[in-house]
Chain A
Amino acid sequence: MKIIGLIITVVTGALLIYAAADFPAWSDPASPASTYLSPHFIEKTMEETSVPNIVTAVLADYRGFDTMFETTVIFSAGVVCFFLLRISRREEEEPETRYYRHVLTGVTIQLKEGYKMPPSADFERIDAVWTPPDLIIKTGCRILIPFVQLFALYVIAHGHHSPGGGFQGGVILGASVILLAISHDLRTAVRRMSEKLIGILCAVGVFIYAGTGALCLLLKQNFLDYSALAGVLHVDPITARSHGILIVEIGVGIAVLATMIWIYNNISSAGRYRQGL
């Protein structure tokens, strides 16, 4: 198998290198890729959408249909991870003894024979193999997380004028919650953002995107033609396209945020939602 694989890769590589001789030279302004469609995008984006960041305008407006289905792909990836890995509470045999830790004093109590602690803020449930998180890491992450989230919101909101947008900002937001799960434990992160909330957010993100498109359809324009929103937002059609892009990017951000956390939660704990990493 190794020899066959080596032969296949060497032959394919040789063919591709042979074909590369016909490709346009590196950084050639007259290459076919930069002559047909891209000059229109570069020269007309400002007139047509009033968004200086061409990448954002092309992503959410000119190629909005493509991006909508990319968001759907991400949504389905999150759902697939959930269906493949999540072990439901009924299947999973609950441990006989439960451990609860008093948050202030660190005293751990053990309840046998399936007794449960009434929900209270003083005690948190822990696993049998629980190790206390390191104080320096815990404090450092606690200081860091709000700033990471603030930066993520900036990246989403400022995507029209600087590199950024829904995908990047959503990933940074998701990373901040994953950082919480790594620095503390998975239970802490799930308490902050429950599984139900993540599932709803995932769907809400895709709904905002598709709903904006459908709203344009109801206002007698094409699907995802944001200039139809001019009447609703009380602005001229070109500014309406800019605002429509922002609404859609927020939807993308929410969907990506929820999916990243969902995938991490399911994979790191193999669907059990216990200790995690």
Chain B
Amino acid sequence: MTDLISMVVAKYNYWIYITLMMIGLYAMIAKNNLVKKIVGMNIFQTAIILFYVSIGVKKGATIPILEHGHGPNAHHVVHAVDYINPLPHVLMLTAIVVGVATLGVALALAIRIYNNYNTLEEDEILAQVREK
């Protein structure tokens, strides 16, 4: 029992990201409303962002901006242990903005579908498509 608890505590970031990702995946598969599917897609993206950012964390390290980075002593020796991993932050920085852009495209598609079928419910749209 104590083994299990220590395992969960040591890796709780993965548990949270998996839970969030599965909530998003379930919404994308099972929800009938298209806007709810889009919300599910966004929860999925947020889970990935959380996963990446949590990978970059180091114990006892600070944000990846070098201290005393300007002035005469700017070029001092830097140790990698003192700063967290910058790479996941770079990847997620662009992923957030691209996420907003994909959300925009998804909503635009939803508006077009609503204009054509007068509904956003998936089963009603499918019924109308089969009729034609």
- Within residues 46 to 75 of chain B, which ones have a CB less than 8 A from any CB in chain A? 54-61, 63-66, 69-70, 74-75
Are A21 and B65 in touch, CB under 8 angstroms? no
Are A256 and B11 in touch, CB under 8 angstroms? no
Are A73 and B85 in touch, CB under 8 angstroms? no
Are B58 and A66 in touch, CB under 8 angstroms? no
Q: Using Cβ atoms and an 8 Å threshold, which residues of chain A touch B19? A: 13
- CB < 8 Å neighbour of B112 from A17, A29, A84: A84
A50 CB to closest chain B CB, in angstroms?
A: 7
Total of A-B residue pairs, C-beta within 8 Å: 176
Q: State the CA gap A51–B12 with chains docked (Å).
A: 34
Are A270 and B115 in touch, CB under 8 angstroms? yes
Are A46 and B69 in touch, CB under 8 angstroms? yes
Contact with B along A123-166 (1 / 0, CB 8 A): 00000000000000000000000000000000000000111010
Q: Using Cβ atoms and an 8 Å threshold, which residues of chain B touch A190? A: none
Q: Which residue of B is nearest A41, CB measured?
A: B86
Contact with B along A73-111 (1 / 0, CB 8 A): 110011011001100000000000000000000000000
Given that A47-B75, A80-B105 are known contacts, is A162 also in contact with B65, CB under 8 Å in the complex? yes
B52 CB to closest chain A CB, in angstroms?
A: 9
Q: State the CA gap A51–B63 with chains docked (Å).
A: 14
Are B93 and A54 in touch, CB under 8 angstroms? no
B49 CB to closest chain A CB, in angstroms?
A: 14
Are A29 and B94 in touch, CB under 8 angstroms? no
Q: Using Cβ atoms and an 8 Å threshold, which residues of chain A touch B14? A: 16-17, 20, 23
Q: Does B39 contact A (CB under 8 A)?
A: no
Q: Does A122 contact B (CB under 8 A)?
A: no
A6 CB to closest chain B CB, in angstroms?
A: 7
Q: Contacts A29-B58, A52-B66, A161-B65 given; 18 further ones with Cβ under 8 A?
A: A8-B25, A8-B29, A13-B22, A17-B14, A21-B11, A26-B13, A27-B59, A29-B60, A33-B88, A34-B80, A34-B85, A41-B87, A43-B79, A58-B90, A59-B93, A80-B105, A161-B69, A267-B107
B residues whose Cβ falls under 8 Å from a Cβ of A: 7, 10-15, 18-19, 21-22, 25-26, 29-30, 54-61, 63-66, 69-70, 74-75, 78-81, 83-90, 93-94, 96-98, 100-102, 104-105, 107-109, 111-112, 115
> 15 interchain pairs (CB within 8 A)?
A17-B15, A20-B14, A23-B11, A26-B13, A39-B80, A42-B86, A43-B79, A46-B74, A52-B66, A54-B66, A54-B86, A77-B104, A77-B105, A85-B112, A270-B111
Pick the 8 closest A-B CB pairs, nearest first.
A52-B69, A77-B101, A5-B30, A39-B80, A5-B29, A263-B104, A20-B14, A54-B86
